[in-house]
Amino acid sequence: MDGTWGSLSKPNTTFSLALLRKLSEDNNTANIFFSPFSISSALAMVMLGARGDTATQISEVILYFDIWSMSSCTVELNNPEAKFVLSVANRLFGEKSYSFLQEFLTKAKTHYNSELEAVDFRTKCEEARVKINNWVEEQTQGKIKNMVVKGMVNNMTKMVLVNAIYFKGKWSAPFQRSNTREVQFRLNKKDTKPVQMMELKSHFHHASIDETDETSPLTHIMIALSPDQLEDLLTAETFMEWTHPHEMERGEIVVKLPRFKLEEKYDLNKVLSSMGMVDAFDETKCDFSGMSSNKGLFLSQVSHKAFVEVNEEGTEAAAATGNLVADSVSFFTADHPFLFFIRNRITKTILFAGRFCSP
């Protein structure tokens, strides 16, 4: 693995799994979908303006990697010659009565291709909300609407971090629509729901996972694992081991995946605070003196929204087309809840992570 990507891959994977577990705590049967890469890159951008304990806490949550790795990764993912469309909407919206330091604005643009936009929360908070939503909708090609709902911002809002991501790509080996059938998806041991199940028989790279009897397909863009049997075993080390090219063979596999669409939104203040990022949300403790010389600037809101659609042609909100990885047996049928991870095969970063529990 290239040294640049190696320094980014492990912290990205560790953060992805930690956040997945946190989002699962309140409801372990809910669908989950988020982009750990875009969340961590947005927080890394905020960290450019953080100082003292505020910076330390952000660093410890995202397991901070060097800026150059993130910058290089962003350039790679935004490659105009790539056979996919990836749109990451990362922006800080700050109360315009605060003066923001030019050094911070320059670094945010240089390293993360992101900006801080001054808006009038104090006297025109609804106008600011509409402006934020219009920008996100434009950046995600209309897929993510109404990012900031009414009541989320008010005249006391100081700064909002908005984070949304959209991807569209095609499978390297498309599923045929004529093979799609309605089957029953097992929600649990008793209940089922109908789902449109896609089927594909093709040659893929695959790996055998010894820790479970469950047939678990992994792809360089979609890694589907049974939560009941593998969630406890899943660490950054095991994830990277299972998906390492040296662990894979090539063979014919029959894969059955449900056609599905997820759109999930998270207000991450509580989750990030529980992971240790406390001061950034506390007006009395936060230190964003590298962002503004004004006192009292703090993060009022961190909002994240991600959209995924998986169908026969390909994926929307996935990372890149890639090879399938499966267990050594020749069949996999995802007719029960599964975890999935969408990863870029060059940078080895998890762009998306999720759990599909119910159609």
Q: What is the 3-state secondary structure (H, E, C) of 233-268?
A: CCCHHHHHHHCCHHHEEEEEEEEEEECEEEEEEEEC
From residue 271, alpha-carbon distances to 106, 248, 255, 278, 343 in Å are 29, 35, 35, 10, 23
> How many other C-beta atoms are found inside a 10 Å radius of the C-beta of residue 54?
26
Question: How many C-beta neighbours within 10 Å does residue 252 have?
Answer: 10
- Minimum mean pLDDT among 26-40, 87-101, 323-337: which range? 323-337
Which of 213, 221, 242, 236 is closest to 314 using CA atoms?
221
Sign of the alpha-carbon torsion through 318, 320, 325, 326: positive
Q: Give me the pLDDT at residue 214, please.
A: 37
Distances (CA, A) of 316 to 15, 32, 227, 259, 352: 23, 16, 23, 12, 11
Residues paired with 282 in a beta bridge: none
CB-based burial label for 188 (10 Å; 0-12, 13-18, 19+): exposed
Q: What is the CATH number of domain 170-259+313-356?
A: 2.30.39.10
| Most trustworthy range by pLDDT among 2-11, 89-98, 318-327 | 89-98
Contact between 320 and 170 under an 8 Å Cβ cutoff? The reply is no
Q: Into which CATH architecture does domain 3-169+262-309 fall?
A: 2-Layer Sandwich (3.30)
Residue 78's pLDDT is what? 59
The pLDDT value given to residue 168: 66
Residue percentage of the chain with pLDDT more than 70: 69
Distance CA 54, CA 288 (A): 8
CATH 3.30.497.10 domain residues, the chain? 3-169+262-309
- Residues carrying CATH 2.30.39.10, the chain: 170-259+313-356
Q: Which position has the token pair 């890469």?
A: 37
Instruction: Grade residue 265 by pLDDT with cuts at 50, 70 and 90.
Output: confident
Any residues with CB less than 8 A from the CB of 96 and at least 6 apart, and which?
A: 118, 119, 120, 121, 122
Q: How many CB atoms lie within 10 A of CB 91?
A: 21
Identify the DSSP state of 292: B
pLDDT digits (tens, 9 = 90+) for 72-112: 666 566 565 555 666 676 788 989 998 889 999 998 888 87
pLDDT (0 to 100) of residue 321: 25
Q: How far, in Å, CA of 341 to CA of 245, rounded?
A: 17
Each residue's pLDDT tens digit, 195-223 = 999 888 766 555 544 443 333 333 334 55
Asked if 111 and 103 touch (Cβ cutoff 8 Å), the reply is no
Is the full-model pTM beyond 0.75? Answer: yes
Handedness of CA 259, 325, 71, 14 (dihedral sign): positive
- Number of residues written out for the chain: 359
